[in-house]
Protein backbone atom coordinates (compact mmCIF):
# COMPACT_ATOMS: atom_id res chain seq x y z
CA UNK A 1 0.00 0.00 0.00
CA UNK A 2 -0.52 2.39 -1.76
CA UNK A 3 -1.54 0.79 -5.03
CA UNK A 4 -1.87 3.16 -7.99
CA UNK A 5 -3.64 2.62 -11.32
CA UNK A 6 -2.64 5.09 -14.04
CA UNK A 7 -4.96 5.14 -17.05
CA UNK A 8 -3.12 6.79 -19.96
CA UNK A 9 -3.04 6.78 -23.74
CA UNK A 10 -0.82 4.14 -25.29
CA UNK A 11 2.33 5.17 -27.12
CA UNK A 12 4.75 6.14 -24.33
CA UNK A 13 8.33 5.00 -24.68
CA UNK A 14 9.86 2.59 -22.16
CA UNK A 15 12.03 5.46 -20.97
CA UNK A 16 8.97 7.64 -20.31
CA UNK A 17 7.39 4.78 -18.37
CA UNK A 18 10.55 4.37 -16.29
CA UNK A 19 10.52 8.07 -15.44
CA UNK A 20 6.78 8.08 -14.75
CA UNK A 21 6.87 5.25 -12.19
CA UNK A 22 10.03 6.62 -10.59
CA UNK A 23 8.70 10.17 -10.18
CA UNK A 24 5.18 9.16 -9.10
CA UNK A 25 6.66 6.81 -6.49
CA UNK A 26 8.87 9.60 -5.11
CA UNK A 27 5.92 12.00 -5.07
CA UNK A 28 3.88 9.52 -3.02
CA UNK A 29 6.72 8.76 -0.60
CA UNK A 30 7.40 12.47 -0.01
CA UNK A 31 3.79 13.42 0.56
CA UNK A 32 2.36 10.63 2.69
CA UNK A 33 5.56 9.17 4.16
CA UNK A 34 5.51 5.57 3.01
CA UNK A 35 8.59 3.55 1.98
CA UNK A 36 9.18 3.27 -1.78
CA UNK A 37 8.89 -0.51 -1.82
CA UNK A 38 5.34 -0.22 -0.45
CA UNK A 39 4.24 1.61 -3.60
CA UNK A 40 2.89 -0.44 -6.52
CA UNK A 41 1.92 1.19 -9.82
CA UNK A 42 -0.09 -0.38 -12.65
CA UNK A 43 0.02 1.44 -16.02
CA UNK A 44 -3.25 0.85 -17.89
CA UNK A 45 -2.75 1.96 -21.48
CA UNK A 46 -5.70 2.60 -23.76
CA UNK A 47 -6.29 3.57 -27.39
CA UNK A 48 -7.89 6.90 -28.32
CA UNK A 49 -10.86 4.94 -29.61
CA UNK A 50 -11.50 3.78 -26.04
CA UNK A 51 -11.72 7.13 -24.22
CA UNK A 52 -14.36 9.82 -24.45
CA UNK A 53 -14.94 13.26 -23.00
CA UNK A 54 -18.34 14.89 -23.43
CA UNK A 55 -19.63 11.89 -25.37
CA UNK A 56 -16.99 12.15 -28.12
CA UNK A 57 -14.20 9.62 -28.60
CA UNK A 58 -10.68 11.08 -28.27
CA UNK A 59 -9.96 9.62 -31.73
CA UNK A 60 -12.74 11.78 -33.18
CA UNK A 61 -11.65 15.04 -31.60
CA UNK A 62 -10.10 17.73 -33.86
CA UNK A 63 -11.49 16.09 -37.00
Would you name the residues annotated as active-site residues? Answer: 2
If binding is defined by CB under 8 A, does position 22 make contact with its own copies? yes
Among 16, 61, 62, 63, binds its own copies (CB under 8 A): 16
Report strand pairing: 3-9 vs 40-46.
Answer: parallel
If binding is defined by CB under 8 A, does position 62 make contact with its own copies? no
Applying CB under 8 A, the residues found at the interface with its own copies are 1-9, 12, 14, 16-28, 30-32, 36-37, 39-46, 49-60
Amino acid sequence: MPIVNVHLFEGRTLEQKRRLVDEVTKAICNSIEVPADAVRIILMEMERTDFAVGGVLASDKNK
